[in-house]
Structures are given as C-alpha cells and as structure tokens.
C-alpha cells in the first residue's frame, strides 16, 4: 500500500487503514514535507495569535503503523503498478493512493493572494495598516472557481472586527461568485452567515465575478460595477496535480468514482483537494480518505462492504468573537440539509472534521501540547 502525500487526506488514509486492516497491509507514505501543518489555523497568524500547529510527519506516520519515505512522486506506471520518484527511485504497489493536494495559483496580479504557506507575511502588514488607520476600504475577492471557502470570510470578519475594536472606520466588501455567503453549507447556514456579515458591517456582493485590472480597482460583473478600495485580498485558484500516467479531468483534477477509485486505471485511488470534487475542504478530503481506506481494506480481504463517498461538510467559521459551526449534507455541490449552531455538532470540534485524524491530533495535543 503506497500513499503519496503528507496532508490531511494522506494521513487520514494511513490512520483509517491502521484501524480497518491492522495486520493485513504494509503501508508506506511518500511525501516531501517534514511537517504536517494545520492549515486552517494560519488565518489567525496575521492578527498576532499563536502560529498554526505543526506536527512532525514522521511521528504521525509512525503512529499510524506506516513507513515514511521522504521524496516526491514524478510519474506512475499503472501497468507495472510502479511509481517513480523525482529521485529516480521505483516503488511497487498493490494499491496506490494519490493524496497530492491542489496547486495554488495567484489569480489577480494586483491583489494579495491567500496562501497558508506565507499568510502571516502577506497579511500582517495589511492588518497593521488597518490598525494604524492607513486603510479604510478593503475588498475580499473570490475568483470564478472558488478555492477553500472559509478563509475568505474568516479574514474579512476578523479584519472588520479588529478595525471596530480599534475604533477605525473600515468599509469591508466581499465579492463572490456564490449565490450567498458560504452557499455550499446550504440555505439556512448561508442566511445566518449573511446576517453575521451585516452585523459586522461587511457588505457581500454575491453571484459576482471580479476583475482587478489595477491596484485598488475591482470591476464586478455582471453590471460592470466599479469598486475603489485601498487593498484587495483574494483567494487563489486551484488546479489539480499533473501526474504523468494518471488520467486527468478538468483543470487537472483527478477523476474518481463514488468509491474514490481513479477512473480509467486499476488499483489507484485518490482523495482530497487533488480530486475533481468541487468542494475543497479538509473534512471532505478526510471523508474521501475513509472511503479509500474501506475500498482498500476490502481489497486486502477485510470483511467489510465499502461505502460510497457520501459527503457531510462541517465548517468551523472563525469570527472576531466566538466561532460558528456549520454543517451540510451535500448533493451536487450544494448543501441540502443545512444548519448553523453556536455549539459544535461534531466531535472533537476541530476545524478539520476527520474521523481518525481529528481525535488523533487532539490526543497528541493533550500529551505534548500543541506545537507551533
Ligand atoms: C487558509 C486555509 C484555511 C482553511 N480552512 C479550512 C477549514 O476550516 N476546514 C477545512 O476542513 N478545510 C480548510 N481548508 C482546506 C484544507 O486545508 C484542505 O482542503 C486540505 O489541506 C486538503 O488536504 P489534502 O491532503 O488533499 O491536500 P494538502 O493538505 O495540500 O496536502 C497535499 C500533500 O501532498 C504532498 N505532495 C504534493 N505533491 C507531491 C508529490 N509530487 N509527491 C509527494 N507528495 C506530494 C504535499 O507536500 C502535501 O503534503 C483551509 C485551507 C486553507 C489554505
């Protein structure tokens, strides 16, 4: 069993396999990163809160009973069931899991792009400028194909809240192609988020496509409305990972069937942001990983019937005060049952809801304290 990647989907797969097939599989993880970063908490860094937790990848992989190889996948030979690394090493597999994440691309040349690898560096100066009263109009923009939905709203709400606390007048606008804010969480949750944004004095322009032709200028389609602001913050666009030997779908994302098997090849599975599933969310990737692990466990002879991927999306929305908890059962990319609560409805109440990874990290934090 070979898992490629060192993020949420890869680690959830390894932990799930340890539970479902304790003695049946040899699991190896191939990843270039030495640490697993808890990406959702990076949004707090520019506001002076503690850094997002970082965990040694070797420890997590070891605790899942797997072996870690440091390296990068170069290409896959599905006929020989072999992968080749960038260092020209060949590794054979009985089953291969691709959990490579997505490629982050800056959409607008004249905007600050949200990227968790350097969010503090990118946003810290902006927050200081808000606090010092140098900035009075800010736009938060989502490009046509949305990346992760939560951080855009979290940054807008936290920035507006910081300005309010400092007695600074700040006009904050979110421009988004969604029909309503966080529409993937369904009607009820989206309406409640709308009300939350209004109370925080954040204007939301929905069903809108933005261009940023010059610094401080946002053109909104349809209608060619123009917004003049001091700064623009934007989500990136995501693309799938290009892997030679693996069929690709639109924008490079990996096409999978309801059991998360990669279409058109055998014994290759995929989970997480790398797949074509339109909602890019750690919790969704973890559920795909659980689906993959069940399929592989059945392949390895475990007595279970693999379930189909049937996503439930949980989102903890950070605000300038207490967080809100959103849940939706999804079909076709839109929530069909939708709820927002002040208290968590999943356990542990983590930003990334993951059956195995979330309780594992919670226990690790209790044992050694969160690391940053
Ligand atoms: C600022 C921010 C806030 C977010 N907030 C939330 C939230 O509140 N809740 C939530 O559920 N989700 C949230 N997300 C989304 C969530 O972080 C992602 O959906 C999740 O990280 C995707 O997991 P993944 O394992 O698919 O990909 P990744 O986390 O991107 O991991 C991919 C892994 O593959 C490795 N890799 C890449 N290429 C290769 C290669 N060629 N060979 C070997 N390894 C390779 C990488 O090194 C990495 O370890 C947020 C994201 C951001 C950026």
Tell which atom from ligand 1 comes closest to the C-alpha of 283.
Answer: 11
Domains of the chain, earliest start first:
2-102+240-306+354-360 (3.50.50.60), 105-237 (3.50.50.60)
Best residue among 45, 233, 285, 354 to mutate for probing ligand 1, ranked by most atoms within 8 Å of CB: 285
Quick one: CA dihedral 337, 41, 127, 49, positive or negative?
A: positive
**Number of Cβ within a 10 Å radius of residue 242:** 11
Structure tokens at 83: 């992968």
pLDDT at 144: 86
Count the alpha carbons within 13 Å of 342 in the hemisphere toward its beta carbon.
3
Cis peptide preceding 348, ω within 30 of 0:
yes
pLDDT at 42: 96
pLDDT at 337: 85
- In this prediction the pTM is 0.96
Q: What is the mean pLDDT of each run of 10 residues along the chain (372 residues)?
A: 98 97 89 97 94 96 97 97 98 98 96 94 94 96 89 97 96 96 92 96 96 96 95 96 92 96 97 95 97 96 94 94 91 73 94 97 85 58
3-state helix, strand, coil in the chain (%, to 5): 30, 30, 40
Task: Please tell me the distance between residue 101's alpha carbon and the centre of ligand 1 in angstroms.
Answer: 5
Three-state helix/strand/coil letters over 266-297: CCEEECHHHECCCCCCHHHHHHHHHHHHHHHH
Backbone angles phi, psi at 215, to 5 degrees: -60, 125
d(CA 294, CA 304): 8
Best residue among 150, 279, 356 to mutate for probing ligand 1, ranked by most atoms within 8 Å of CB: 150
Residues with CB under 6 Å of ligand 1 are 4-10, 30-33, 39-40, 42-43, 72-73, 99-101, 116, 148, 150-151, 241, 272-274, 280-283, 285, 315-316, 351-352
Best residue among 69, 148, 269, 356 to mutate for probing ligand 1, ranked by most atoms within 8 Å of CB: 148
d(CA 27, CA 68): 9
Tell which atom from ligand 1 comes closest to the C-alpha of 12.
Answer: 25
Task: Please tell me the distance between residue 41's alpha carbon and the centre of ligand 1 in angstroms.
Answer: 13
């Amino acid at each position: 069993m070979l898992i490629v990647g060192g993020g949420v989907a890869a680690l959830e797969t390894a932990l799930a396999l340890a539970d479902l097939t304790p003695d049946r599989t040899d699991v190896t993880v191939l990843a270039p990163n030495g640490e697993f970063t808890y990406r959702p908490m990076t949004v707090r860094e520019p506001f002076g809160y503690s850094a997002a937790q970082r965990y040694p990848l070797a420890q997590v992989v070891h605790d899942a009973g797997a072996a870690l190889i440091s390296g990068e996948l170069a290409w896959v030979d599905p006929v020989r069931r072999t992968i080749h690394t960038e260092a020209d090493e060949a590794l054979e597999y009985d089953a291969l899991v691709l959990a490579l994440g997505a490629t982050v691309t800056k959409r607008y040349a004249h905007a600050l792009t949200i990227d968790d690898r350097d969010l503090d560096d990118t946003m810290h100066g902006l927050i200081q400028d808000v606090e010092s009263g140098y900035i009075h109009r800010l736009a938060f923009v989502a490009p046509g194909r949305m990346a992760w939905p939560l951080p855009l709203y979290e940054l807008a709400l936290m920035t507006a809240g910081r300005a309010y606390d400092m007695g600074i007048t700040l006009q904050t606008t979110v421009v988004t192609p969604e029909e309503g804010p966080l529409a993937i969480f369904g009607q009820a949750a989206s309406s409640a988020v709308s009300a939350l944004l209004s109370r925080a004095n954040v204007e939301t322009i929905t069903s809108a496509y933005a261009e940023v032709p010059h610094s401080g200028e946002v053109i909104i389609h349809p209608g060619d409305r123009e917004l003049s602001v001091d700064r623009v913050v934007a989500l990136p666009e995501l693309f799938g990972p290009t892997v030679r030997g693996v069929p690709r779908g639109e924008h490079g994302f990996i096409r999978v069937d309801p059991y998360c098997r990669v279409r058109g090849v055998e014994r290759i599975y995929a989970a997480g942001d790398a797949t074509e599933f339109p909602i890019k969310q750690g919790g969704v990737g973890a559920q795909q990983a659980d689906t993959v692990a069940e399929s592989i466990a059945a392949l390895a002879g475990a007595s279970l019937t693999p379930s189909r991927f049937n996503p439930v999306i949980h989102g903890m929305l950070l605000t300038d005060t207490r967080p809100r908890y959103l849940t939706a059962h999804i079909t076709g990319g839109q929530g069909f049952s939708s709820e927002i609560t002040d208290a968590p409805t999943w356990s542990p109440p983590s930003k990334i809801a993951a059956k195995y990874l979330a309780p594992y990290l919670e226990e690790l934090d209790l044992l050694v304290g969160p690391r940053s």
